[in-house]
Amino acid sequence: MNHQLRAGLSTIPEMDDTQFGRWQNLLEERTGMCLAPQRRSFLQTSLGIRMREVGCDSYEEYYQRILSGPVGAIEWSTLVDRLTVQETRFFRDPDAFAFVEQYVQQKAADPSTESVDLWSVGCSSGEEAYSLGMIAERWLTPAGKQYAVTGTDISTIVLRKARAGKYQGRALDWVPADYAGIGFKEMAPGGALEVSDRLRQRSCFSQVNILNLSASPLQSQHVIYCQNVLIYFRRWRRREILNVLAERLAPGGILVIGLGEMVDWQHPLLEPVHSSRVSAFVRKQANSTGETARR
């Protein structure tokens, strides 16, 4: 840490229990995210840096600014970007992506399938969504099938990066060799990595607050990928989120979540996938009477 940054952090005021609880409640009320007490220092640093940027001397002053009409709404959006950006990478969970790949291969071989829709929930800067796109491109396009990938996130900053589709060259380290040539253009001078035009044309990124999923127009998705998202929410809210996602699956579609994110959840439309390496569910097919049937 350089001297200037260290000096700046030293001026950040201490956050007491009352202040932390107030900000904790506001964040959960507006985004659903539950900030654990162990993350107080993270919140204090994030708020303190932003307060210094906008000229606020206390947490109370900044809190009131957040609540002050349209100006406060803009400031809140900026703060949420600071607090919710999470680390990600291409093909972050190899077992989960292998499961998705197996499903996409089945859809590619199915004569009744014309197109496949894939949704990355909490897509961050786009690596997860483009990983899904690479799988779809590899197996569906040669089979004459269409596909579309949608990435959603609450942060406008990461969504801009996702739409740009440009990454550091070292991001390629996480991409399996079979996909490197499918997903990217040739590396530009200086080591910049750029997603292929074909993948970008078939990918859409949109701002969505996960608390408002019920208002999302996305329906009949074949793949819903929601990893490393639920861990930031209380258990009752995780159930609410998953219940909405279950209803957005197409019959036979798959929902993939992170291992251990929700171990006791069940839904009448879904069947769990019995695996020690992947936490996933399959939506039951509808029978001739319109009722769900076991797969």
pLDDT, tens digit (0-9, with 9 covering 90-100), for 278-292: 999 999 987 644 555
90 residue type, one letter: F
* CA–CA–CA angle 33, 152, 221 (5° rounding): 115
User: Structure tokens of 204?
Assistant: 């859409």
Distance, first Cα to last Cα, the chain: 55
The answer to whether residues 253 and 228 touch, using CB atoms and an 8 Å cutoff, is: no
Q: Which ranges in the chain belong to alpha helices (H)?
A: 3-10, 17-31, 40-54, 59-66, 69-84, 94-109, 127-139, 156-164, 177-183, 197-201, 235-247
The pLDDT score that the predictor gives to residue 189 is 62
Q: What is the DSSP string of 181-200?
A: HHHBPPPPTTSEEEB-HHHH
Q: What region does 213 belong to: left with phi over 0, alpha with psi -120 to 50, or beta?
A: alpha
Backbone angles phi, psi at 57, to 5 degrees: -100, -15
Global pTM? 0.85
CA separation for the pair 79, 18 (Å, rounded)? 20
The pLDDT score that the predictor gives to residue 3 is 42
Q: Which domains does the chain possess?
A: 3-84 (1.10.155.10), 94-293 (3.40.50.150)
CA separation for the pair 148, 165 (Å, rounded)? 16
The pLDDT score that the predictor gives to residue 4 is 41
The pLDDT score that the predictor gives to residue 239 is 95
Tell me which residues of the chain have a pLDDT lower than 70. Answer: 1-11, 85-86, 187-190, 287-295
